[in-house]
Amino acid sequence: MATDRTGELFDKFDKLMRLRDAANQVLIYILTSPKPVTPKELVDNLGLTENSVWKTVRRLEADGFLRSMDRGEYEPNFGLITALLLFKVQELIKALEQR
């Protein structure tokens, strides 16, 4: 069962690393915002189309990188993002130790 979880974490980390420009912009904006963000705020501040923002926000939420809050606001899922980064650091340390 741990192997299944490891594979899932690898897949999620790969998704995080392969985000396209719009998704990177949206995620970075939301990560650095002191409060939850609305899609309208993203459209106004990032210069992306409303359609692009909605698709991106829904995809990031489906992948677990964002959490939907009240009234259409979004915040980062710091727990998942931190876990993915720590997982990857652990993998890098293991690879270095095997050298």
pLDDT of 18 higher than 60: yes
The structure's pTM equals 0.83
**Structure token digits, residue 26:** 């949206």
**Structure token digits, residue 82:** 């931190």
Q: What is the pLDDT of residues 53-92, one digit of tens each?
A: 999 999 999 999 999 998 899 999 999 999 999 988 988 8
Q: Going from the N-terminus, what domains does the chain have, and what CATH number goes with each?
A: 2-97 (1.10.10.10)
Q: Residue 67: enclosing H or E segment and its boundaries?
A: strand 66-68
Residue 12 near residue 80 (C-beta atoms within 8 A)? yes
Q: What is the pLDDT of residues 30-58, one digit of tens each?
A: 999 999 999 999 999 999 999 999 999 99
Q: What is the rounded distance in angstroms from the CA atom of residue 91 to the CA atom of residue 82?
A: 14
pLDDT of residue 2: 55
Residue 15 near residue 63 (C-beta atoms within 8 A)? yes
Helices (H), the chain: 2-17, 21-32, 39-46, 50-62, 78-97
